[in-house]
Amino acid sequence: MRQRSLIAVLLALALAGCAGNSAHDLINRVAVEAPASSIGSTHEIFVATTRQQATANPRQVFDGDRSLTTNYARVDVTVPKAHRVGSIERAKGRAPSDPAKDFTARRVVTYPDRQHFAKALGADVVKRGERALVFVHGFNNGFDDGIYRLTQIAADTNYPGTPVLFSWASGGRITDYVYDKESANAARDDLEATLRLLAATKVKSIDIIAHSMGTWVTMEALRQLAITGDRDLGGKLGYVILASPDIDVDVFKKQMLRYGKPDKPFTVLLSGDDRALQISGLISGSKPRVGDYNDAADLASYGVIVVDLTKTKGADRLNHAKFADNPILVQLLGDRLSAPASLSDTEPPLDERRINDLGQGLGQAVGAVAEIVITTPLKVLTVVTGQ
């Protein structure tokens, strides 16, 4: 039975995947022009990565091989005016991206060293209001997948600050699970250093969204910060949102014990129907993962807020990226990120009033009923949005 389940989930992963274009090209072979009227927005994505520069296929910019040092870049991405919230419009197969219809990387700037990157990043932080959003992608992601996902999050949430992608060396293939896990382990110090680099700028709030295996990298970096006595980056750590965490539950508890209960509770987004985490659990000896754990109160006792998305819809068969591809949840995320954590109250990051207010307005547009269960160290909220 276990083998049959493993085969079924592997087939689902093969059909749906956790990522986009299998070639992982970020840059078009030839430029495709589009009228300015068809472009909805342009986003400058700053990048710190443990990937090597792609030499075999330069259009990937950075490939899946590990670098022993952190590389730095900035990618300018356009979003088409026809973009729909929760979607990442991409060209099919090896077709070039059309800016009038697709997310399109228009320019890549690489920085020779940490100092040049820090100067450019610091200037952008000041220009955008002294906030930064760090996104850490998950398993089976090419460099292009991370760039486009962060662009979508920034666009759909109207995030007011500087978007920063931390891209660790995922192989970008379903068969690379073990390789990816080791790459995640190797990237812990680099993420810690990137967070410190950001904290050294004039930024006032550093928000983090991590997804899937990227939550492991994030929790390890935060654990290391705690060990050094600087767990909140000198008071600059903002929201920490862990979406579909691919972490063994017992390991996560140990990480939280070492970090200590956060001053502002971390937010864990989980879903009992996350099929990608089912395969992770099988590979890991049938041990529960945080992202599909069924005891929210247990997790909440460690100082986190648990948001159960099991009864909301995902955009693909895996239900592994609901936080970013479900329009209601994207809007809720954007609503919370609109104000810096330092100015927020002590209520849950996705509180009942906000969900009800947004649900009434979004229900007819989305046409779906979604039940969200929020478990905090103090109480449980069950909220129904939609009609």
Average pLDDT of the chain is 86
Q: 23-59 pLDDT, tens per residue? A: 899 999 998 999 999 999 999 999 999 999 999 999 9
CA distance 163 to 150: 7
Q: 342-353 pLDDT, tens per residue? A: 655 444 444 455
pTM over 0.85: yes
Residue 35: exposure state from Cβ atoms within 10 A (0-12, 13-18, ≥19): exposed
Share of the chain above pLDDT 90, in %: 64
Among the residue ranges 101-110, 221-230, 291-300, the one predicted with the least confidence is: 291-300
> Residue 369: what pLDDT?
47
Of the candidates 186, 203, 213, the residue with the CA atom closest to the CA atom of residue 237: 203
| Block residue for tokens 């419009």 | 89
Q: 12-23 pLDDT, tens per residue? A: 444 444 554 568
Neighbours of 166 (CB within 10 A): 27
Give, for 199, the enclosing helix (H) or strand (E): helix 188-199
Residue 385 pLDDT class (50, 70, 90 cuts): low
Position 214: which residue type? G
Q: Which residue has the higher pLDDT, 241 or 376?
A: 241
Q: The domain that contains 278 carries what CATH number?
A: 3.40.50.1820
CA distance 135 to 114: 19
For residue 328, give its domain range. Answer: 2-385
Is residue 191 predicted with pLDDT exceeding 60? yes
> Residue 378: what pLDDT?
67
| Block residue for tokens 């450019």 | 120
Q: Which of 123-137, 167-181, 320-334 has the highest mean pLDDT?
A: 123-137
> Residue 169: what pLDDT?
98
Is residue 384 predicted with pLDDT exceeding 60? no
Is residue 368 predicted with pLDDT exceeding 70? no
Number of H helices, E strands in the chain: 12, 11
**290 in Cβ contact with 249 (< 8 Å):** yes
Where residue 272 falls (left for φ over 0; alpha for ψ -120 to 50; beta otherwise) is alpha
Residue 354 pLDDT class (50, 70, 90 cuts): low
Q: What count of residues does the chain have?
A: 387
Tokens of 294: 């069924």
CA distance 196 to 200: 6
Phi, psi of 80 (to 5 degrees): -70, 150
Q: Which residue has the higher pLDDT, 263 or 127?
A: 127
Q: Which residue has the higher pLDDT, 330 or 162?
A: 162
> Residue 106: what pLDDT?
96
* Structural domain total, the chain: 1
Tokens of 355: 């969900």
> Residue 3: what pLDDT?
47
